[in-house]
Amino acid sequence: MASLPTSPLTEEEYLRIERLAETKSEYQDGRMFAISGVSPNHALLANTIGAILHDQMPPGCRTYNADLRIKVARAGLYTYADCSVICGELQYAADQKDVVLNPILIVEVLSPSTEGYDRGRKFELYRTIPSFREYLLIAQDERYVEHYSKQDEGGWLLREYRSGIVTIPSLQQLRIALDELYESAVN
């Protein structure tokens, strides 16, 4: 991710700029980071996972696309996940009705430019969200999904899939068939 050429910004300055901007940017440590465009496969997989999740969503839970701004409060990170799920009431950052704090599931479709960040530092920051329980990383150039689930003792369990069905325990055992997810992907 490339940093936008600005001096350190407050969170309030970032939000003011971001709400007026034509393109999206993330924010952390006083800096804005431009979010680059995505490939057709990336966009297709993000839409497909959102539709699969939406069709099976348990009562009281909702699926959101990449337009939802998420704040990782402990880290001061404002970001946009490719897809997320929130159960129960939306928790907003102060009086910011366009910034949420409580995703239970976050999905990132991996891009060559952000793959390391999504697997590393971003996941580390996401783990500070108290409601966060499930993380899906979806490869866009091959059939491959990484599923991290938070365990009762606080650790995270990784399951890797190249075929079969991903089960999401925190969402009443919701099931994602890789055949359905990758059905229309261009390889």
Separation of alpha carbons 66 and 59, rounded Å: 22
Q: How far apart are CA 161 and CA 180, in angstroms?
A: 13
pLDDT single digits (tens) 1-24: 444 445 799 999 999 999 999 889
CB 77 within 8 A of CB 26: yes
- Beta pairing partners, 33: 3, 26
Q: What are phi and psi of 134, to 5 degrees?
A: -140, 140
Give the tens place of pLDDT for each residue, 104-158.
Answer: 999 999 999 889 999 999 999 999 999 999 999 999 999 999 999 999 999 999 9
Confidence at residue 5, expressed as pLDDT on a 0 to 100 scale: 40
- pLDDT of 178 above 90: yes
Superfamily of chain region 38-181: tt1808, chain A (3.90.1570.10)
C-alpha 23/C-alpha 48 separation (Å) is: 22
How far is Cα 132 from Cα 171, in angstroms, rounded to an integer? 12
Tokens matching residue 51: 């539709």
Tokens representing 137?
């990383």
- 163: amino acid identity, one letter: S
Helix (H, G, I), strand (E, B) or coil at 66: coil
Q: Which amino acid is at 20?
A: L
pLDDT tens track for 51-65: 999 999 999 999 999
| Spans of all domains in the chain | 1-35, 38-181
Q: pLDDT (tens digit, 9 = 90+) per residue, 18-53?
A: 999 988 999 998 999 988 778 999 999 999 999 999
Q: Could you tell me the pTM of the whole model?
A: 0.93
Q: How far is CA 100 from CA 85, 124, 129, in A?
A: 11, 18, 11
Q: What pLDDT is recorded for position 4?
A: 46
Instruction: Please give the pLDDT value at position 69.
Output: 96
Would you list the DSSP string of 12-50?
A: HHHHHHHHH-SS-EEEETTEEEEPPP--HHHHHHHHHHH
Q: What is the pLDDT of residues 70-99, one digit of tens each?
A: 999 988 899 999 999 999 999 999 888 999
